[in-house]
């Protein structure tokens, strides 16, 4: 059968190719929030960091119309949006998003990881959903403007960060089915604590055999809310069975692993080879995935991007040929998988403990994020 979706490997502008944040931020001029959070409110938030609960004082935004292109770029008080009930996004789901983090380094400066990659991915997602592209420099400028305005919301505690959520949606009030003629782009931010509250702990994964999140020619390679909507019921059912996350299989044969609802997946063989599903058009190309592949290649490790057959993997886990399985994404960076189960099987991975390669990669990536280790690929971009 043919493969209709093109496989892309995103690059985007490197930190060295991008203008500095002080040069870019003024593209989204700031109107300061007249009623910012008080020092006491801020202390209360920082004292109990949770994912996506508290939002900062500001948001960056811009509008797109066919006549004006992108315009009205600004940074203003965080607040509710006014939207027509006929706004296309509410009916047809024309929406894309991104997720990045701003990390506070020991010297007080604030950095983010490969924003050019996320900018390029945002545009790739936009193309699939027939949405206008945002120049990569504008994408990075919006992050620079927001983090400069909300610098005090970037936590400094070990393992914490400011989560950045850029998104775009069809705001045009029109019920006809076609790509909208009006779009809103926004960036909001939320301070987050370390993902693993009880340390680096393996999770239990349910492999869905009766649901798929995407199919060939669908939106699997785009970061869009619709793919998440498709994953919520399987996620809920897995949770009820006592599992933390779902791993989806390819929709054509139902035989090989694709990814979790919002994380890519890796397998480490006992001989040290590392494998991850190839970008087939039905997998979202993660920035964490790309960085892990690069770090492993830098070390001369054997790395393979190929189909990972579920039946084969279960056999290799039982025989000890596969030593580690982990998932990765910006939110948790790396999540060790300690148990893989589905209809008719239930296998413990590496005695349910994080493996050596999983732990090394986690340390390497987080050390780069927090400026504790050299950054040979120019991944970190200074925001403040
Ligand atoms: C965002 C996302 C990932 C992880 O991408 P990162 O760039 O590493 O954060 C993986 N899978 C899906 C479906 C995603 O939406």
Q: Is the CB of 231 under 6 A from ligand 1?
A: no
Q: Is the CB of 36 under 6 A from ligand 1?
A: no
Q: How far apart are CA 147 and CA 134, in angstroms?
A: 19
pLDDT of residue 6: 55
Q: Is the CB of 265 under 6 A from ligand 1?
A: no
pLDDT digits (tens, 9 = 90+) for 83-94: 999 999 999 999
Report whether 145 contacts 181 (CB < 8 A): no
Q: How far apart are CA 86 and CA 234, in angstroms?
A: 30
pLDDT digits (tens, 9 = 90+) for 256-281: 999 999 999 999 999 999 999 999 89
Share of the chain above pLDDT 90, in %: 92
Q: Is the CB of 101 under 6 A from ligand 1?
A: no
158 HSE (CA, 13 A, CB side): 5
Give the distance (Å) from ligand 1 centre to CA of residue 246.
Answer: 14
Q: How far apart are CA 213 and CA 228, in angstroms?
A: 8
CB-based contacts of 240: which residues, under 8 Å, 6+ apart? none
Answer whether residue 335 shows pLDDT above 70.
yes
Residue nearest atom 12 in ligand 1 by C-alpha distance: 262
Q: Which atom of ligand 1 has the smallest separation from the CA of 223?
A: 15
pLDDT digits (tens, 9 = 90+) for 225-258: 999 999 999 999 999 999 999 999 999 999 999 9
Beta-strand relationship, 69-77 and 203-208: unpaired
Q: Is the CB of 287 under 6 A from ligand 1?
A: yes
Q: How far apart are CA 125 and CA 107, in angstroms?
A: 35
Measured CA to CA in angstroms, residue 322 lies from 154, 232, 246, 294 at distances of 39, 29, 20, 21
pLDDT of residue 8: 75
Ligand 1 pocket mutation, candidates 234, 262, 368, criterion most atoms within 8 A of CB:
262
Answer whether residue 12 shows pLDDT above 50.
yes
CB-based contacts of 359: which residues, under 8 Å, 6+ apart? 200, 336
Q: Is the CB of 136 under 6 A from ligand 1?
A: no
Residue nearest atom 14 in ligand 1 by C-alpha distance: 262
pLDDT digits (tens, 9 = 90+) for 284-304: 999 999 999 999 999 999 999
Query: Can you list the domains of the chain with their CATH numbers?
Result: 21-193 (3.30.470.10), 203-353 (3.20.10.10)
Ligand 1 pocket mutation, candidates 95, 99, 220, criterion most atoms within 8 A of CB:
99
Ligand 1 pocket mutation, candidates 118, 263, 282, 288, criterion most atoms within 8 A of CB:
263
How big is the chain by its Cα radius of gyration, in Å? Answer: 21
């Amino acid at each position: 059968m043919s493969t209709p979706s093109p496989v892309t490997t995103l690059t985007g502008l490197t930190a060295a190719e991008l203008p500095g944040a002080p040069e870019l931020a003024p593209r989204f001029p700031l109107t300061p929030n007249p009623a910012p959070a008080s020092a006491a409110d801020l202390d209360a938030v920082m004292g109990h960091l949770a994912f996506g609960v508290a939002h900062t004082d500001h948001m960056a935004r811009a509008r797109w119309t066919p006549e004006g292109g992108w315009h009205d770029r600004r940074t203003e008080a965080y607040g509710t949006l006014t939207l027509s009930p006929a706004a296309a996004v509410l009916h047809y789901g024309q929406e894309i998003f991104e997720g990045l983090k701003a990390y506070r380094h020991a010297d007080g400066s604030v950095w983010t990881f490969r924003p050019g990659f996320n900018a390029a991915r945002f545009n790739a997602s936009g193309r699939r959903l027939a949405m206008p592209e945002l120049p990569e420099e504008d994408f990075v400028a919006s992050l620079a403007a927001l983090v400069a305005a909300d610098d005090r919301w970037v936590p400094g505690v070990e393992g914490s960060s400011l989560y950045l959520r850029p998104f775009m949606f069809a705001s045009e009030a029109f019920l006809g089915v076609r790509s909208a003629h009006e779009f809103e782009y926004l960036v909001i931010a939320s301070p987050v604590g370390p993902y693993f509250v009880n340390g680096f702990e393996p999770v239990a994964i349910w492999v869905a055999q009766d649901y798929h999140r995407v199919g060939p020619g669908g939106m699997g390679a785009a970061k869009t809310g619709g793919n998440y909507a498709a994953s919520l019921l399987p996620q809920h059912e897995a949770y009820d069975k006592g599992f933390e996350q779902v791993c989806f299989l390819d929709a054509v044969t139902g035989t090989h692993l694709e990814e979790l609802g919002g994380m890519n997946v890796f397998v480490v063989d006992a001989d040290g080879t590392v494998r991850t599903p190839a970008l087939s058009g039905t997998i979202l190309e993660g920035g964490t995935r790309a960085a892990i592949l690069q770090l492993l290649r830098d070390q001369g490790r054997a790395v393979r991007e190929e189909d990972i057959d579920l039946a084969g993997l279960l056999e290799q886990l039982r025989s000890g040929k596969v030593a580690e399985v982990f998932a990765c994404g910006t939110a948790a960076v790396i999540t060790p998988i300690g148990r893989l189960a589905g209809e008719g099987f239930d296998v413990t991975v590496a005695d349910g403990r994080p493996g050596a390669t999983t732990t090394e990669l986690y340390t390497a990536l987080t050390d780069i994020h927090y400026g504790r280790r050299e950054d040979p690929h120019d991944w970190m971009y200074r925001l403040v």
